[in-house]
Structure 1
Amino acid sequence: MANIVERACKDGTVTFQVRWREGGRGGRQQNEKFGSRPSAEQFKKLVDAHGQQWPRGWVRGHGFAEPETYPDDVPLVEWAYRCVDRLTGVDELTREDYRREIRLHISLARHTLPTGALVPATICNLTADDVRDWIRLEESGLRDPQDPQRWVRKPAHPKSLAKRHGLLHCFVQAAVEAEPQLRTKNCCQNTRLPRVDHLIEEEMTYLERGEYLRVASEIWDPHARDLTDWLVGTGMRWGEATALQVRDLNLNAAVPTASVQRAWKRAATGSGRSFFLGPPKTRKARRVIALSPSLAEIARRRVVGQSAEAFVFRTDLGRPWLHANFYQRRWQPAVEAAVQKGLQKQPRIHDLRHTHVAWLIAAKIPSPAIQARLGHESITTTIDRYGHLLRELDGEISEAVEAAMASASPETGLRLLASG
């Protein structure tokens, strides 16, 4: 890292000298003098952003002789699109989502010249300060100058912002690893992002048993009610439950099971978006779920007379459920009716999965078992998302520790040592 040394001159003035080792530790000592600390601070940031090298286009003692130019430079947005087009192992929908993030969000990034002027961001001129400015721009959003109550661009949610920053990080890293190399350092490293964890609890809605029954009782369609009970009883994702086929059920075992082997995926098409059956979300999402007696009874009732590849959950017309159709015509009307009768929550369909976890935690089911049932790739995901609910078990944990310590008196300990 470069540093600034303040020096007093004989004429009473003060200069600020930026010093650094060219290329880092062990490199040749370099320095540049400035008449003010802000100018020195700005140059220090440029040196750090250029990997302890002289900023490109900078003439010692004079500053930038001309606007920053790089022989192989590419506009940031163009480079980002190029990176997305070269991705392998992703479907077209994912590629389309990345392009949308570039068009709507990454395109907002700008580069600030030493003079303070804003210029279009390129893959070479982008600095850590530019990334921080972009983060703040996304955080603050943009209101309509003509109507301050209306958002032209809403403030980014911390979780969305973290994903966009991760995407930008990948694009910049591609320039670092390019042949020939376009950058020597990834300016997205060590960016401090808004915290996400304190918002997770607010995003989720957990229903008590009575609250769930209040909503479920408003669902008049028996096919929709079966699906709702299945979602809250298994914790399956929507795309997994609605893709379940008769052949995935083992209802004759001592403990009946449902095997998650596929899920609905969105596909980008020329006329919009359609759906197709693909693998579950992750490797761990391909799992076997034990069914309670009531869930097994739902399954038995729904598979009678059906072929092996028939969907377990179907509309009254025998077709697979579409999320929008279920939400607008079954779920949302039921929630609104329950709210009118006193329900204090506004649960989403996905909150049935969260509710399932809350019920398991309340029943003191161990976290690894919950992880396996939900199909989380890592136990960390389970703890990060639902760990705050485990606080409800603090009383039981304290009692267990107290009981163990009470039984382990000094006399007992000495007897155990002697016998050992």
Structure 2
Amino acid sequence: MASIDERKRSDGSIAHVVLYRRNGKQSSTTFDDPISALQLKRRMDKLGVEQALQLLAAELAADPDAPGLTDAVNSYVDDLTGVEDGTRTRYKRFLANDLAPFFGAHTPVDVIDDKAVARWVNHLQQVVGNANKTIANKHGFLFAFMASLVKSGAIPTNPCADTTLPPVDQAEMVFLEEDEFAALIDEIPRSWKTFVRFLVASGMRMGEITALRVGDIDRKRNTCHVRRAWKYTGGRRVLGRPKSKRSNRVLDLDPSLVAELRLDGRTRGDWLFVGANGNVVDVTTFYKTVWSPAVSRLMADPTDPLDGKKPRIHDLRHTCASWMLGENVPIHVVQRHLGHESITTTVNRYGHLDRRAGAAAASVIGAKLSRTAKPGLSVVGAA
């Protein structure tokens, strides 16, 4: 650990000395101003002595016209197009909480190298305690920012390009069979049954279904228009656009499900689904008072109606996809229904459930084999 000592010079000025051990010996670096000394101390505590001194040397040799980290990130975020204000706020929070304190708010961007990025990732994991997915998100932002600097010619290469990130373990998807969903819906309170049935039929995300208004339902065509979604920014819920361009979609619904919806006597601007207080559905309240108790009761049942499964709310979206693919709905139709931006996402996530292509391939090979089989050819192992 480094420390700072103040020493009075013969001319009366104050020297700010950073003390540290290097190669087993006591060493020091002196600054005229306390801010530079504090920054070096913090870097040494986080990066280690050698990396901190390398950054300091790089800064002293850096192009004086190179932009500082804070100014460069703010400029990058402000100039982004196609993003919402909440996204800009989140990116600037990354800067304030994760980038500036570690690298230094005014560090020239051209001195941040791959080793510094690697140490930053380790710091997020080992010191801050971020989840692997959170680290991947933060690194992804830094990668995109650095890529913009490469494109502009401010830096020659992207220091994030070869970073090895901790593995992100995707939560295992749960697909409910019809009888399992029937057991679940029986445990759901009557006032919430249509909401849960709508979730599995539409395959919507919770942020989408809770943002639906009465006017989004077309009773004549039995459709639902997904055009907005709730997002969380700074710990508060904000209504915005769906997750992606494809997420803004029109879904076909079964007429019997549309008939269950409470539409009569309501204005087009009313929330389609509301909580017990008449306001927009609160996801946390729904989970704690409706979903979790229902799942817990089923899991405690000796007959095990869920077959050992513990479904999350989001697993109803996965169940929707599995039911469609199980009945031979083309995977590109499933993609549109779920609002995936790319069919690659749908294939990667649910492709293993679509057995039609494999069955067709097996049929082709079987036909070839049957036409090439010689008369009287015995089956291996037959008597």
Normalised by the length of structure 2, the TM-score is: 0.70
Is 1:337 equivalent to 2:337 in the alignment? no
Counterpart of 1:259?
225
Q: Which runs of 5+ in 2 are unaligned?
A: 1-53, 374-383
- The aligned runs of 1:20-419 (5 Å cut-off) are 68-77=61-70, 79-107=72-100, 122-138=108-124, 140-142=125-127, 153-157=129-133, 160-177=134-151, 182-193=154-165, 199-200=169-170, 202-220=171-189, 222-253=190-221, 256-266=222-232, 273-276=236-239, 278-299=240-261, 302-341=262-301, 342=304, 343=306, 344-390=308-354, 396-405=359-368
Q: Is the 8 A contact 1:109 1:130 kept in 2?
A: no
Aligned-partner Cα distance in 1 for 2:147–2:359: 48
Counterpart of 1:40?
none
Aligned-partner Cα distance in 2 for 1:261–1:405: 49
DSSP 3-state at the match of 1:320:
coil
1:183 partner letter: I
Counterpart of 2:47?
none
Q: Which runs of 5+ in 1 are unaligned?
A: 1-54, 58-63, 112-119, 143-151, 411-420
Q: Is the 8 A contact 1:261 1:280 kept in 2?
A: yes
Aligned-partner Cα distance in 1 for 2:94–2:367: 54
1:356 deviates by 0.9
DSSP 3-state at the match of 2:187:
coil
Aligned-partner Cα distance in 1 for 2:58–2:347: 54
Identity of paired residues, percent? 34
Aligned-partner Cα distance in 2 for 1:279–1:81: 24
Q: Is the 8 A contact 2:114 2:163 kept in 1?
A: yes
Pairwise CA RMSD: 3.5
Q: Deviations over 1:178-218 (max 9, x none)?
A: 5xx5323322234454565xx43x44222222332333222
Q: Is the 8 A contact 2:132 2:167 kept in 1?
A: no
| Alpha carbons of structure 1 residues 360 and 174: separation in structure 2 relative to 1, 3 Å | same
Q: Is the 8 A contact 1:169 1:186 kept in 2?
A: yes
Normalised by the length of structure 1, the TM-score is: 0.64
Aligned-partner Cα distance in 1 for 2:288–2:223: 30
Q: Is the 8 A contact 1:248 1:258 kept in 2?
A: yes
Q: Identify, as 1 or 2, the structure richer in helix.
A: 2
Matched residue pairs, number? 317
1:168 partner letter: L
2:275 partner letter: T
1:86 deviates by 4.5
1:172 partner letter: M
Q: Deviations over 1:245-284 (max 9, x none)?
A: 333223334xx2222233334455xxx62433x3322222
Counterpart of 1:18?
none
Q: Deviations over 1:297-344 (max 9, x none)?
A: 323xx1122223333222344322122221222112222222222342
DSSP 3-state at the match of 2:109:
coil
Q: Is the 8 A contact 2:225 2:249 kept in 1?
A: yes
Query: Which deviates more from structure 2 when the two are superposed, residues 79-88 or residues 359-368?
Result: 79-88
1:164 deviates by 2.1
1:168 deviates by 0.7
1:298 partner letter: E
